[in-house]
Chains A and B, each alone.
Chain A
Amino acid sequence: MHGNQWVRAILRSAVLLLAATALLGVLYPLAVCAVATAAFPAQATGSLIAVDGVTYGSALVGQPFREPGHLWGRPTVADASTFTTEDGERLLWYGPENLSPASDEFAERVAARVEAVRAAHPDQGDTPVPSELVTVSGSGFDPHISPAAAEYQVGRVAVACGRTEEEVRAIIRQCTERPLLGAIGEARVNVLKVNLMLDGIL
């Protein structure tokens, strides 16, 4: 093996890396940007829900809900230490729980969540609490809950926001997406959309 063989290989590698960076690191994402913003403008910019100039969130990012008149989502592990606005105002962001579901700490947290959920839903009595109301999702900001988890809350939400249970169910149905071809993925309720409709915003 000769020294100049290494030098040539390194020089060629550097040229290849630079050319690849221009093509794959600049032109490729810009081309996808151009196509995506032209063909799917809402999706390509974060599926934001804006009404009368106020952006209430993204349909793909869940928010913490605990008011009785709102549908509750998955428990979130939120913090306001990661992001701030330009003027230093704190912004909320999320992370996963990262606990083994076989650990004692996990058992304690779930027990506390079950207790809190049951206390807020006296109408449900001893009905088992749907699992998604007491488990944190993989991202920590799951925008959805299952139809079972939504149905569990209907009584409480209806009383708190002065609607009939049927009205609440109708809103939930409007915000429910079905699995692909009836088999792939799960049926899911978009929690933010339901709450915007309950509040009369959407």
Chain B
Amino acid sequence: MSAEVSAALFTAAAYGALLVACAVPLSGYLVNVMEGRQARARRIVGPVERGAFRLLRVNPDDSMGWKRYLVCVVAFTGVSIAGLFVLLVAQGALPANPEGFGGLPADTALNMAVSFATNTDWQAVAGESHLSYLSQAAGLAVQNFLSPAVGIAVAFALMRGLWSAGDGRLGNFFADVVRVTLCVLLPLSLVLSIALASQGVPQTFQGYETVQLLEPVAVDEAGTVVAADDPAAVEEVTEAVVPLGPQASQVAIKQLGTNGGGFNGANSASALENPTPLANLLECLAILLLPFTLILSFGRMVADRRQGRALLACVLILLAAGTAVLVGAEFQATPQLSQDGAVYTGSLSQAAGNMEGKECRIGTAGSAIWTAFTTAAANGSTNASLEGLTPIGTLVPLVFMGLGEVVGGGAGTGLAALVGFAVLTVFIASLMVGRTPEYLGKKIGPTEMRAAVVMVTAPALVILLAAAGLCLAPAGAVPVGEGGPAGFAEVLYAAVSAGANNGSALAGLDADAPLVNIVLAGAMVAGRLIPVACALGLAGSLARREPVAAGPGSLSTASPLFVFLLLMIIVLVGALTLLPALALGPLAEQLGTLA
């Protein structure tokens, strides 16, 4: 292993340790907030919280059954989609639009509304060139708060179901959303956004800046830059644009809430969204902070912290493996880049390896670690162009997303998927030794198994159906950037990203085509609501079961053996569903480079 790769892996390990160190205290705070017993935070946000409950006419102690909880989730998601859709379509006639952008076409607006309300943040069009400040701040950023809040609410409903004494109650949806938003998401975002602004992320409501180019460039009729002596040159462009806006406040919650939709099309690869190594460090840690916190909250909620640690151990092993592969791949320059040694890709006074699509200040290591984190969590923000990854580098994000949001995953939904896999593991392990399956003192029956199996397999089914649908479309309806395996990889990546609610993209695919917009919108809704419905169904069924005391024959779900079994089940399900598709895309492409 080269020195750069070891240094990068050491950095990644340090990031992981730092994250766990932050997640431990935060998980205690989060549980107190959600259970309505956080005294210190209550003194500050208490009046706001009580005001919100009065406004909503919600009694936080009015605990809901799983069906009512699900109705609230579906209703809230629907209202969010509708509200954001109207805002995006009508932005041309609304204020805070200094660049005078018109409303989005209906298919684009629908795709974007679904995308942000389902915590996916897939972006069919670039924000800086299509969206007004109002759409960004009051539309996208608001969903960046609310969609993770909904996910976290569902996770707590599930945890209450596992730990309830048999009354079937899961908590109050509206109280959960209000509490986590006011006491956790908002304070964290305030601190992070001001830290980011100090590093150079713009935060202003003034319009874009026009600046003088030091070297004017010639452009042709279509606006493409050409050489000054090119006969097609029709005009000299002397000025450039600097997009500004309320970016810091949006970037902060984009990173914290496993959202990932950038203010700018280039996302955090843009130096405006991610100006310095310190900003990059903070944004990168923010990606996995809440997913890790939720996993550790699980242990606290079921009054056995070892249970949370066991799940976190499983996630950390998968994360470490994926990060190592990705880092190793990106420090290898492809033959197409190194040009038989004509291009220097070593580490003397520069970042080594594959710098295509990567930023100088972030480097190979910083980009590879971020890419692993952002697809492990269902975040999807990027600090490099994913299309510029080596083929094996592309494989890791695909596998992480394809495993179904379990390696950290979305805020709340990641934990729910992990619990689904744990239930499946308990069932299989118990059958192997002929015992009645039970998890955390609750018997696992047919109802629970149905919910868990649908929950862990639904995202894969949605992904494969969406990918198949896009591949069967008539020529031209799906505008891929490249042909052959690379083009298939672009389509597969889009389907995986939508179905797994991630939102990152291989941007060679021109995503703003009506068919792509609509197929992916459907995949995002199904990929969000089916697992959520299963999680709540599982919770409701478990909540009605009386806890049974653990006997000598009970399977310990906090042991290394269980972690190993859980890992195997996750990898097996993921491999069985996605391996054939992966073989046609990135694997075929990688083999092609060797030919």
A contacts, CB < 8 Å to B: 1, 5-6, 9-10, 12-17, 19-21, 23-26, 28-33, 35-37, 39-40, 43-48, 54-61, 63-67, 70, 74, 76, 78-83, 85, 89-93, 95-107, 110-111, 114, 118, 127-132, 134-149, 151, 177, 179-180, 183-188, 192, 195-196, 199
Q: Known pairs A131-B333, A186-B363, A187-B349. 9 more at Cβ < 8 A? A: A9-B74, A15-B55, A45-B209, A66-B215, A118-B342, A128-B342, A147-B349, A183-B11, A184-B278
Given A132-B350, A180-B281, A103 and B486 touching (CB < 8 A)? yes
Binding site for A on B (CB under 8 A): 7, 11, 52, 55-58, 67-68, 71-72, 74-76, 78-80, 83, 99, 129, 137-139, 141-142, 145-146, 174, 177-178, 181, 186, 189-190, 193-194, 197-206, 208-215, 217, 219, 222-225, 235, 237, 239-242, 244, 246, 248-250, 264-266, 269-272, 275-278, 280-281, 333-337, 339, 341-345, 348-351, 354-363, 366-367, 382-385, 387-391, 481-482, 486, 506-508, 589-590, 592-593
B contact residues around A179 at 8 Å (CB): 277
Residues of chain B within 8 A of A25, CB atoms compared: 137-139, 141-142
Q: Complex Cα distance A73/B94, Å?
A: 39
A141 touches B270 (CB 8 A): yes
Name the residue on A nearest B138 (C-beta): A25
The answer to whether A70 and B387 have CB atoms under 8 Å apart is no
Contact of B360 among A40, A70, A186, A195 (CB under 8 A): A186
Question: Are B75 and A13 interface neighbours, CB within 8 A?
Answer: yes
Contacts of B269 in A (CB 8 A): 96, 137-139
Known contacts A57-B242, A129-B344; is-contact A37 B211 (Cβ 8 Å): no
User: Of residues A33, A106, A143, A147, which shows the largest number of chain B Cβ atoms within 10 Å of its Cβ?
Assistant: A33
In the complex, A129 Cα to B141 Cα: how many Å?
A: 42
Give bound CA distance, A196 to B213, whole Å: 11
- A contact residues around B74 at 8 Å (CB): 9
Are the CB atoms of B237 and A91 closer together than 8 Å? Answer: yes
The answer to whether residues A60 and B350 also contact, given A25-B137, A92-B237 and a CB cut-off of 8 A, is: no
Chain A positions within 8 Å of B177 at CB level: 16
B271 contacts A142, C-beta separation under 8 Å: yes
Residues of B within 8 A of A101 (CB): 333-334, 336-337, 354, 356-357, 388-390
Residues of the A chain whose Cβ atoms lie less than 8 Å from the Cβ of B186: 23-24, 28
Q: Is A40 a contact partner of B198 (Cβ separation < 8 A)? A: yes
Q: Once the chains bind, are B241 and A91 in contact (CB under 8 Å)?
A: yes
Interface centre among A17, A60, A78 (most CB of B within 10 A): A60
Nearest residue (CB) in A for B270 is A139
The answer to whether A78 and B336 touch (CB under 8 A), given A96-B266, A148-B350, is no
Closest Cβ of chain A to B369, distance in Å, is: 10
Task: Compute how far the CA of A5 lies from the CA of B62 in the bound complex, rounded to whole angstroms.
Answer: 14
Q: How far is the CA of A137 from the CA of B242 in the complex (A)?
A: 17
A188 to B355, CA, bound (A): 14
CB<8 Å pairs between A and B, sample of 18: A13-B72, A13-B80, A56-B211, A57-B211, A58-B272, A74-B360, A80-B235, A90-B237, A92-B241, A97-B385, A107-B337, A110-B337, A131-B355, A132-B351, A135-B357, A137-B385, A141-B270, A199-B214
In chain B, what residue has the closest Cβ to A22?
B138
- Cβ–Cβ < 8 Å partners of A35 in chain B: 194, 197
Please indicate the chain A residues that have their CB under 8 angstroms from the CB of B486 in the complex.
100, 102-103
- A52 CA to B81 CA, complexed, in Å: 48
Which residues of the partner chain A approach B99 to less than 8 Å between Cβ atoms? 83
Contact of B508 among A93, A98, A136, A183 (CB under 8 A): A98
With both chains docked as a complex, state the minimum distance between the C-beta of A80 and any C-beta of chain B, in angstroms. Answer: 4
CA distance A126 to B485 in the complex (A): 35
